[in-house]
Amino acid sequence: MIEKRQFYINGAWVDPIEGKDHHVIDPSTEEACAVISLGGQADADAAVAAAKAAFSAWMATPAEERIALVEKLLEVYQRRGAEMGEAISAEMGAPIDMATASQVGAGAYHTANFLKAAKKFKFVRPLGDHAPNDRIVHEPIGVCALITPWNWPMNQVTLKVIAAAIAGCTMVLKPSEESPLNALLFAEMMDEAGFPAGVFNLVNGDGAGVGSTLSGHKDVDMVSFTGSTRAGIAISQNAAHTLKRVHLELGGKGANLLFADADEKAVKRGVRHMMENSGQSCNAPSRMMVQREIYDRVVEEAAEIANSTAVASAHEKGRHIGPVVNELQWNKIQGLIQKGIDEGARVVAGGVGRPEGLNKGFFVRPTVFADVNNDMTIAREEIFGPVLSIIPFETEEEAVEMANDTVYGLTNYVQTQDMERAKRVAGQFRSGMVEINGHSRGAGAPFGGMKQSGNGREGGVWGIEDFLEVKSVAGWSE
């Protein structure tokens, strides 16, 4: 069993001041794979103090030098990618091939895109030709608390840490206690890359302890949080006492509109995307809305695809989905599947219980519901498991209205060969992101939502700007 009881504070690995043991559970086996320490207020205070002491010097470090350190970090990260994949697979259940390729790959991808954006970013720029002696200066916000989730850990750690470092902020990272091993490994990489002491600090803890201390801390200037909407609301309330900036990436209930002229791969694409990472993605297309003319065919095809989706241990190589992260999530998903049945939705694939042959581990049957209406619980709540709801619609207007009839607004999808309709629908979606006909967002595109899906934009130039203050200076002379 791995033992990782230390924190990374002020450029050194230190014992917790008030730590308590926490067992990290491998969701494929339900057995402990590691023991870490969860810190308390004193540990969070020490990390914040280190970040505060390092801020002035890091802020004054030329952007070129900060960028060079990130380039060194990327080299270390890529060299140690296999270790990172093994850690992620064991602690949160992503199948080893997917963990190494997609989970680890996301971190490298975002880091490389931040580097491209940073090299073009003008931290000082003219206001305009009408004001030749005015400058707009972008300065780091200060000490940032970065609170990350378990479902795509390196995706979220790099989106926050790299952007903050390039901007000139110092930081304290609190990863999820469900998947802390990847973040501890990342701290080793930050150390190996040579970041100055205090720029990056890591303290393990839970939300009620270290998370609450950081979000309410008087010396923390910004909180960047990715996780549930419930937790995002609590963090916002706690942070309001000090009027710090709060950047939130929260839940989603994505609508995927399939019109009658959708391409032949649209159904498979939608189901596969929903089941990826065992449904544990905030941008999952969990509501498949289908035009009535093709509804019966789509339901049948979706069921076939779900039934052919293999489920197996995260430690096995191959193309399959693994378990969900823990028993709490498993029980929640089972309850929502049963709720769908009780409210009259028709199960056409999967259902309650574990897949056949898997009697241990937090495995969920890939499930598809047909005959769902937008008022059912399974259409309203974020399930965060491999569960797809299929909802019929008659007209474009009805489909858009249903898509927007949710408290969330992260990613929506549209499948049609009529590009004018696709653009029209995309313009009416109340979501931060839209993908048409399976086209993924390009490198450096901003990730973020509207409404209760949050208020930040991560990735590329927008991700860097989220960690910057804007200062207006008049009377500037070269």
Q: Please check the confidence at residue 176 and state whether its pLDDT lies above 90.
A: yes
Number of H helices and number of E strands within the chain?
Answer: 16, 20
Task: Give the pLDDT score at 101.
Answer: 98
Nearest to 162 by CA among 85, 212, 234, 108: 108
Q: Please check the confidence at residue 433 and state whether its pLDDT lies above 90.
A: yes
For residue range 363-381, list pLDDT tens digits in order: 999 999 999 999 999 999 9
Task: Give the pLDDT score at 382.
Answer: 98
The C-alpha torsion from 42 through 45 and 51 to 55, rounded to 10°, is -150
Task: Give the pLDDT score at 173.
Answer: 98
Task: Give the pLDDT score at 104.
Answer: 98
Task: Give the pLDDT score at 108.
Answer: 98
Task: Give the pLDDT score at 395.
Answer: 98
Query: Which DSSP string do the residues of 243-265 spell out, in sequence order?
Result: T-EEEEE-----EEEE-TT--TT
Contact between 372 and 343 (Cβ < 8 Å)? no
Task: Give the pLDDT score at 51.
Answer: 99
Contact between 1 and 34 (Cβ < 8 Å)? yes
Q: Please check the confidence at residue 478 and state whether its pLDDT lies above 90.
A: no
First CA to last CA distance, the chain: 60
Active site amino acids: 249, 282
Supply 370's token pair.
């047909």
Please report which helix (H) or strand (E) contains residue 53, including its range: helix 41-60
Which amino acid is residue 445, in one-letter code? A
Nearest to 182 by CA among 199, 161, 197, 213: 161
Q: How far apart are CA 272 and CA 309, in angstroms?
A: 8
228 CB neighbour count, 10 Å cutoff = 16
Which amino acid is residue 135, in one-letter code? R
Task: Give the pLDDT score at 136.
Answer: 98
Q: How would residue 448 be classed by pLDDT, with cut points 50, 70 and 90? A: very high
Contact between 163 and 136 (Cβ < 8 Å)? no
Q: Please check the confidence at residue 477 and state whether its pLDDT lies above 90.
A: no
Task: Give the pLDDT score at 172.
Answer: 99
Query: Which DSSP string do the residues of 253-322 spell out, in sequence order?
Result: --EEEE-TT--TTHHHHHHHHHHGGGG--TT---EEEEEGGGHHHHHHHHHHHHHT--B--TTS-SS-B-
Q: Please check the confidence at residue 57 and state whether its pLDDT lies above 90.
A: yes
Beta-strand pair 131-140/143-147: unpaired
Contact between 387 and 334 (Cβ < 8 Å)? no
Q: Please check the confidence at residue 473 and state whether its pLDDT lies above 90.
A: yes
Average pLDDT over residues 144-158: 98
Q: How far apart are CA 412 and CA 434, in angstroms?
A: 5
Q: How would residue 417 be classed by pLDDT, with cut points 50, 70 and 90? A: very high
Supply 14's token pair.
């230190």
Average pLDDT over residues 252-261: 98
Nearest to 18 by CA among 49, 42, 51: 42
Q: Please check the confidence at residue 125 and state whether its pLDDT lies above 90.
A: yes
Partners of 473 in beta bridges: 135
For residue range 275-321, list pLDDT tens digits in order: 999 999 999 999 999 999 999 999 999 999 999 999 999 999 999 99
Q: How far apart are CA 277 and CA 263, in angstroms?
A: 24
290 CB neighbour count, 10 Å cutoff = 28
3-state secondary structure of 45: helix
Contact between 157 and 186 (Cβ < 8 Å)? yes
Q: How far apart are CA 34 and CA 181, in angstroms?
A: 8
For residue range 11-56, list pLDDT tens digits in order: 999 999 999 999 999 999 999 999 999 999 999 999 999 999 999 9
Q: How would residue 1 be classed by pLDDT, with cut points 50, 70 and 90? A: confident
Q: How far apart are CA 115 and CA 108, in angstroms?
A: 11
pTM for this predicted structure? 0.97
Q: How far apart are CA 204 and CA 211, in angstroms?
A: 9
3-state secondary structure of 176: coil
3-state secondary structure of 419: helix
Task: Give the pLDDT score at 423.
Answer: 98
Task: Give the pLDDT score at 437.
Answer: 98
Beta-strand pair 245-249/131-140: unpaired
Average pLDDT over residues 100-126: 98
Nearest to 382 by CA among 454, 299, 456, 447: 454
357 CB neighbour count, 10 Å cutoff = 8
Determine phi and psi for 107, rounding to 5 degrees. Answer: -65, -45
